[in-house]
A and B are shown apart, each in its own frame.
Chain A
Amino acid sequence: MKRYSAFALAREALSNHMGWERAWAAPQPKAAYDAIIIGAGGHGLATAYYLGKNFGITNVAILEKGWLGGGNTGRNTTIIRSNYLQDSSAAIYEKARSLYETLSQDLNYNAMFSPRGVMMLAQTHHEVRGYQRTAHANALQGVVTEFISPQRVKELCPILNIDGPRYPVLGALWQARGGTGRHDAVAWGYARACSAMGMDIIQNCEVKGITSANGVVTGVETTKGYIGTKKIGIVVAGHSGQVADMAGFRLPVEAVALQALVSEPIKPCMDVVVMANTVHGYMSQSDKGEMVIGGGTDGFNNFTQRGSFHHIEETLRALIETFPIISRLKMLRQWGGIVDMTGDRSPIISKTPVGNCFINCGWGTGGFKAIPGSGWAMAELMAKGEPGPLAAEFDMWRFKEGRFIDESVAAGVAH
């Protein structure tokens, strides 16, 4: 892999940019691999990357039914934060956030991590108490957050209306080191680094079946034929239930649609991320000037990557109340992704009832922020066969045993 640098840019400028190589190879599958990752979203690619980087396992294929990063990773609103309530959540999200800080250097690919600060508005007394509690929990966890006053909210984000008639802003949970990243670049950067380590990223290759012998996986049936393997990592977000079904087990997961939209681009007007959970909307501004907007999920099982129109209306209604200046903005694009929701709204990084078959799913509406930490933890699980400290609590049996990692109260809105 030729490294990207200012020098490389100058060199290529002199040769009419004809010398850039492909960012990643497009190989045909080999007969067998040491490990197969199903799903080339951020989590699958990060898993493969840390398998190679941290454990030297590089005879790996990443199989993707569409194009890499074309799932939720390429559809999300890129909010990155780690101010969760429960210790096990804070640990893995903070690991991810801290890896994001140096990801561009690590991957030699500009992931555009922008620690511009994330603000979660408290607009009811219940929320004030909830976020104060989270701020205290974060202090104990070593995650830097603070509960700030309405005046400070207004200073940080002048376009915010803090005296709304229904829900005046009573304060906010502020994480100065949270922010946004470039979703595609995260997938592309990991893909390029995986390819450089000799891993095979095989796109347009849908897994149709999982084979096993004596309760241990042996390979996968795909649209490009049978591929043998010693280990499988299932990292397919919205299709987790379907792929788990191929392996012969059931997951406590339901697939629903989550939508986002962007406005026409305007001059820079906000340099923080704002989430308003009571009224149900959140917004940030992209480098291109578009307002990036999201809200809640639909309330029914759905695999169509299309959401219900009235949810867009609900989200915009909420945001116009919060940011009156956007009331005349035109919306440019809107899309949906299929998110995998678990019963406690926390992810699953786990062994499964099938030997050498591992699963990473349930990131639901909020897994972009977790990609580096999740890949790190999943690689450790796959390499060692046992979870490390980051993944230990996120096993799939917690639902049977009642050990929930309950974040549904901590995150009232999808992000």
Chain B
Amino acid sequence: MLTLECPYCGIMADETELSPGYEAHLKRYGPGSSDEEFEAYMFARKNPKGVHFERWRHAYGCGKWFLAARDTATLEVFGTYPAQSAGPPQALQDKIKAKRPDWKGYK
């Protein structure tokens, strides 16, 4: 079973305690945006086979949203971090790069 550490309460939470929220760090677009921007925000997902950054909610725990880095091809979890982050923390990116030298990096 997938287990993620909730960065708020510090608990190792089982998948059954969590709600998935798919891709993290999406840029929101509102009224006045172009069709392309709306499509990118609503539908055009990265969906990578490999390193992915996603949103999860500790639904049956503290209730908070947080972010996680995971490999979609192996299900390995690299780490979790608070939802208030604009991008993945540098230390986490370095850790992923060390484990996945082919990774093109966060963009």
Residues of A whose CB lies within 8 Å of any CB of B are: 239, 241-242, 250-255, 298-304, 306, 308-310, 342-343, 399-401
Q: A residues within 8 A CB of B48?
A: 241, 301
- Chain B residues within 8 Å of A400, by CB: 35-36, 38-39
Q: Determine if A252 and B44 form an interchain contact, defined as CB atoms under 8 angstroms apart.
A: yes
Q: Does the CB pair A310–B15 fall under 8 Å?
A: yes
Name the contact of B43 in the complex, choosing from A300, A301, A303, A399 (C-beta under 8 A).
A399
For B49, what are the chain A residues with a Cβ–Cβ distance below 8 Å?
239, 241-242, 255, 303
> Is A309 a contact partner of B1 (Cβ separation < 8 A)?
yes
A401 to B15, CA, bound (A): 36
Q: B: which residues have CB within 8 A of A?
A: 1-2, 15-16, 19-20, 22, 35-36, 38-39, 42-45, 47-49, 52, 54, 70, 72-75
Contacts of A301 in B (CB 8 A): 22, 47-48, 52, 54, 72
Tell me, rounded to whole Å, the shortest Cβ–Cβ distance linking A298 to chain B: 8
Give chain A residues whose Cβ lies under 8 Å from the Cβ of B42. Answer: 343, 399
Residue of B nearest to A252 (CB): B43
Distance, CA A399 to CA B39, complexed state (A): 6
Q: Which residue on chain A has the smallest CB distance to residue B39?
A: A400
A38 to chain B, nearest CB (A): 16
A contact patch SS: mixed
Q: Are A250 and B16 in contact (CB under 8 A)?
A: no
Known contacts A302-B72, A399-B43, then 13 further A-B pairs from the complex at CB < 8 Å, ordered by chain A residue: A241-B47, A254-B47, A255-B49, A299-B20, A300-B54, A300-B70, A301-B22, A303-B49, A303-B72, A306-B75, A308-B1, A308-B15, A343-B43
Query: In the complex, A342→B42 CA distance in Å?
Result: 11
User: A309-B1, A310-B15, A310-B16 in contact; A303/B45 too (CB < 8 A)?
Assistant: no
Cα(A242)–Cα(B72), bound, Å: 13
Inside 8 A of B72's CB, which chain A residues have their CB?
A: 255, 300-304
Task: Contacts A309-B1, A400-B35, A400-B36 given; indicate if A300 touches B22 (C-beta within 8 A).
Answer: yes
Report chain B residues within 8 Å CB of A309: 1
Known: A250-B44, A254-B47. A299 touches B35 (CB 8 A): no
A130 and B24 alpha carbons, distance in the complex (Å): 33
Contact between chains at A255 and B47 (CB < 8 Å): yes
> How far, in angstroms, from A61 to B39 measured CA to CA in the complex?
34
A303 vs B48: C-alpha distance when bound (angstroms): 9
Q: How far is the CA of A212 from the CA of B5 in the complex (A)?
A: 45
Contact pick for B73, options A299, A304, A343, CB 8 Å: A304
Q: Give the 7 A-B CB pairs with smallest separation, nearest first.
A: A252-B43, A299-B20, A400-B39, A343-B43, A241-B47, A399-B43, A300-B20
A118 CB to nearest B CB, Å: 30
A380 to B49, CA, bound (A): 31
The contact sample of 5 A-B pairs, CB cut-off 8 A, is A300-B2, A300-B20, A303-B49, A308-B1, A310-B1
The 8 Å CB contact of A303, one of B16, B35, B39, B73, is: B73
CA A308 – CA B16 in complex, angstroms?
Answer: 10
Complex CA–CA separation, A93 to B101 (angstroms): 45
Q: Is the CB of A253 within 8 A of B75?
A: no
A253 to B75 alpha-carbon distance, docked (Å): 19
